A = this chain, B = another copy of it.
């Protein structure tokens, strides 16, 4: 966690990037963003299955935009930035290989998110393969860890559902604007969150139009939320599949302390997020877009947050929407890297999103 200067890289720089595991959705999204990033030049993308094939064969949106071909991991060469988009528990087992090849390492998997090896083991079902490394990594949530990210060379990007929960709750828990009693977070998730490999559950005739709870209890991202949110209050996650491809809408059921009003909720978000370039409070009196909707966020790095108070009961429903592959994965990775290198935090993340879409 050194400054750009200390790391020996100039402030106005262009860094070479290697994406490891680039045929999946997370790696492909990082590639898309990196290709139009002013300070990044992608030089390598690995895929064991597609080695030798042109990248656009797998990511057809990149036709005419890149001449890169996939290579095998065994052929990986040095790069300024190495982005790991591997299945969970894969990066940590071979982390020293990557440390030898790159100065900055960004991991999009869950391997280095959880600082407490016991919490990791509880949620991931096995001992962490490299617990001695955990303290080197910064949790890649720019809003909570901007300071830690400056100059960071190890960035463990946050989980997508966790990001929607954490960004929705953090200001209110930080400032005591909601009670730390049982909090219920219900995440509606698109099919891309399950990755690029086909399965019976992802077969279009089975999944299209489906509203299906897939993780009612025990979601692994609970561990991240517990770690990142102030106070060890009881947080409960339920995840539901929806017909969308991208996007998460999370509703979070919370409770206002006595004497508090909606104004305090407004105030908490404003206080904590006033300067945030990618957080928008969405709460309109009228119109069809009164509250956050992931439909408007495809391809963008925004997290839209809304809320509503039930004055009779003190219940406050928070709503948090993101694109799981951008603000939930590759976008906050880019944003974190921008912070780490001292670049414009918005670099490469300018897409506004489409309306209608």
Contact = CB atoms under 8 A, between A and B. Distances in A.
Given A191-B205, A240-B249, A357-B245, A211 B295 contact: yes
Copies of this chain, tallied across the complex = 4
Contact of A236 (B244, B288, B315): B315
B245 A356 contact: yes
A319 interface: yes
Given A63-B280, A191-B204, A287-B57, A319 B213 contact: yes
Given A57-B284, A234-B313, A243 B246 contact: no
B211 A188 contact: yes
B251 A355 contact: no
Contacts of A159: none
Nearest to A353: B61
A127 interface: no
Interface centre among A234, A240, A354 (most CB of B within 10 A): A354
Contacts of A142: none
Contacts of A188: 188, 211, 240, 242
Given A60-B296, A352-B61, A192 B205 contact: yes
Contacts of A61: 296, 300, 352-355, 357
Interface string A200-214: 111111111111110
A172 to B, nearest CB: 15
A47 to B, nearest CB: 14
A213 B317 contact: yes
Contact of A211 (B59, B208, B247, B302): B247
A38 B208 CA distance: 32
Given A203-B196, A355-B28, A243 B242 contact: yes
Interface string A309-328: 11001010101010000000
Contact of A309 (B57, B217, B296, B355): B217
B251 A213 contact: yes
Contacts of A238: 251, 253, 317
Contacts of A350: 36
A201 B288 contact: yes
Across the A-B interface, give the 3 residue pairs with the lowest CB-CB distance, nearest first. A217-B310, A205-B356, A216-B317
8 contacts: A32-B352, A32-B355, A57-B287, A192-B205, A202-B205, A216-B251, A236-B313, A246-B356
